[in-house]
Amino acid sequence: MLSVPERWVRVHTRSGLLPHVRLGRYVRYRREAVLAWLEAQEHAGAAWRVHKPRSTDRA
């Protein structure tokens, strides 16, 4: 559905950015919730992304 690596999904789930439901030790994703989240991200543009600045120091 998202065409992203599994690690990306885990990281965004743990950080609370990706909508999910936890059932004990299992994590589930409602298709409708993920699609709504994805649409909201499209409307928000790239503002939700966190970019780490590159270091310009070469030691």
Cα(40)–Cα(2) distance, rounded to whole angstroms? 14
Q: Is the dihedral of CA 39, 40, 44, 45 positive or negative?
A: negative
* Vertex 7: Cα angle to 43 and 19 (nearest 5): 45
DSSP-based three-state secondary structure for 48: coil
Residue 52 has a pLDDT of 57
Consecutive 10-residue runs of the chain (59 residues): their mean pLDDT?
A: 91 95 96 93 68 60
Residue 10 has a pLDDT of 94
DSSP-based three-state secondary structure for 28: strand
Structural contact between residues 39 and 58, judged by C-beta atoms closer than 8 angstroms: no
